[in-house]
């Protein structure tokens, strides 16, 4: 509670933020495999020992970084999504704001991918295999909620919730695929995704000629 303690905390927080930002830059420039503490420290302009001091060990830093990345992305998208007045609109907003985030902070998306697809727990479980259904992945949960409520309200037709949610999220991530982002900006890509999934989630109009 002492002002000294707060002051130190401020400094610590700033340092941690700085290091995490340097980590994101490093992941973009040279990838997870080569992102050693030395490389990160160089980009942060500090010593490697200071990273260990603030994050305990390397995986501590990685975990804090991915946590930051997920939270940032989630808060950005969730804030914009909740403005939707019905499920279809919320789905549209989800797609569009997700792409807007990717376009605005491309390096954050790359850093996220680098960690998720490279990091493993000490017992060798890949991070991309970790997310048990309830924990983490707030965006996937939100997407499922939108879809479920849409089905319950009759706005959407019949489909498997998890599959549709994963498919939509996967499609969003594909904007970063090689050749795609260079060919089409996030808004156009989003518009097309909206068209595609509008049809995909619709209540079976194809069978009612």
Partner DNA sequence: AATGAATGAGTTTTCATTCAT
Partner DNA sequence: GATGAATGAAAACTCATTCAT
Q: Is 8 in the site for DNA (CB under 7 A)?
A: yes
Cβ(117)–Cβ(62) under 8 Å?
A: no
Site string for its own copies, 125-144 (x = CB under 8 A): -x-xxxxxx-----------
Q: How far apart, in Å, do the first and last CA atoms of the chain sit? A: 70
Cβ(130)–Cβ(122) under 8 Å?
A: no
**Helix-, strand-, coil-residue percentages of the chain, each rounded to 5:** 75, 0, 20
Q: Is 104 in the site for DNA (CB under 7 A)?
A: no
Shortest distance in whole angstroms from residue 116 CB to DNA: 18
Contact residue for its own copies among 6, 11, 14, 31 (CB under 8 A): 31
Q: Is 208 in the site for its own copies (CB under 8 A)?
A: yes
Task: Give the count of alpha carbons within 13 A of 8, CB side only.
Answer: 5
Distance, CA of 83 to CA of 85 (rounded, Å): 6
Question: In terms of Cα–Cα distance, which of 71, 72, 81, 77 is closest to 136?
Answer: 71
Site string for DNA, 31-60 (x = CB under 7 A): ---xxxxxx------xxxxx-xxx--xxx-
Count of C-beta atoms within a 10 Å radius of residue 160: 10
Closest CB to DNA among residues 54, 88: 54
Closest CB to DNA among residues 53, 117: 53
- Contact positions vs its own copies (CB under 8 A): 29-34, 113-114, 117-120, 124, 126, 128-133, 159-160, 162-164, 166-167, 170-171, 173-174, 177-180, 183-184, 189, 192-193, 195-200, 202, 204-206, 208-209
- Contact positions vs DNA (CB under 7 A): 4, 7-9, 11-12, 15, 34-39, 46-50, 52-54, 57-59
């Amino acid at each position: 509670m002492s002002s000294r303690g707060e002051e130190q905390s401020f400094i610590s927080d700033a340092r941690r933020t700085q290091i995490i930002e340097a980590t994101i830059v490093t992941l973009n420039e040279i990838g997870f495999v080569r992102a050693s503490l030395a490389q990160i420290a160089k980009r942060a302009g500090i010593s490697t020992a200071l990273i260990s001091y603030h994050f305990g060990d390397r995986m501590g830093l990685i975990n804090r970084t991915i946590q930051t990345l997920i939270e940032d992305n989630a808060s950005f998208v969730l804030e914009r999504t909740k403005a939707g007045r019905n499920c279809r609109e919320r789905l549209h907003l989800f797609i569009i704001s997700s792409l807007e985030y990717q376009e605005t902070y491309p390096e954050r998306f790359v850093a996220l991918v680098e960690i998720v697809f490279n990091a493993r727990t000490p017992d060798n479980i890949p991070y991309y295999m970790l997310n048990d259904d309830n924990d983490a992945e707030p965006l996937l949960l939100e997407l499922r909620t939108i879809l479920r409520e849409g089905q319950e309200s009759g706005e959407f037709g019949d489909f498997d919730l998890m599959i549709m949610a994963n498919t939509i999220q996967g499609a969003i991530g594909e904007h970063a695929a090689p050749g795609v982002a260079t060919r089409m900006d996030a808004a156009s890509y989003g518009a097309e995704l909206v068209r595609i999934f509008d049809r995909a989630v619709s209540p079976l109009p194809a069978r009612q000629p």
